[in-house]
Amino acid sequence: MLQLIINLIAGAAGGNIAGGLLKKFNMGTVLNTITGLIGGWLGGTAFGADEGNMIGGIIGSGAAGGVLTLIVGFVKNLLFKKA
């Protein structure tokens, strides 16, 4: 349970960092956080983060949260292009 919470926090942080660094894909704090949370959860699950590998789980979840945020931001930009 503790690892899940850490994965979610790392994912949310990764999502907001990615959105902050790459303004083109930034969707705002709320959407960056939501996609980061989902990415952190998926990343923690995919990379098999557990209590014994906390640092790896934090890095993997943060990266997954950032990547998912960038993917969603990219798709959003494609769908809602400004004329």
Q: What count of residues does the chain have?
A: 83
Token pair of 17 as six digits: 């960092």
Reported as a pLDDT band with limits 50, 70 and 90, residue 18 is very high
Looking at the 3D structure of the chain, how many domains does it have?
1
Q: Domain containing 29: what range?
A: 2-76
**pLDDT for residue 49:** 64
Token pair of 18 as six digits: 């990615």
User: Residue 40's closest CA among 21, 59, 18?
Assistant: 59
Tens digit of each residue's pLDDT (9 = 90 or more) over 21-68:
999 999 999 999 999 999 999 988 887 666 677 888 888 899 999 999
With respect to residue 83, please indicate whether it lies within any of the assigned structural domains.
Answer: no
**pLDDT for residue 51:** 65
With respect to residue 56, please indicate whether it lies within any of the assigned structural domains.
Answer: yes
Q: Contact at 8 Å (CB) between 29 and 12?
A: no
Mean pLDDT in residue range 15-20: 95
**pLDDT for residue 25:** 92
Residues 6+ apart with CB under 8 A from 27: 19, 35, 69, 72, 73, 76
Reported as a pLDDT band with limits 50, 70 and 90, residue 70 is very high
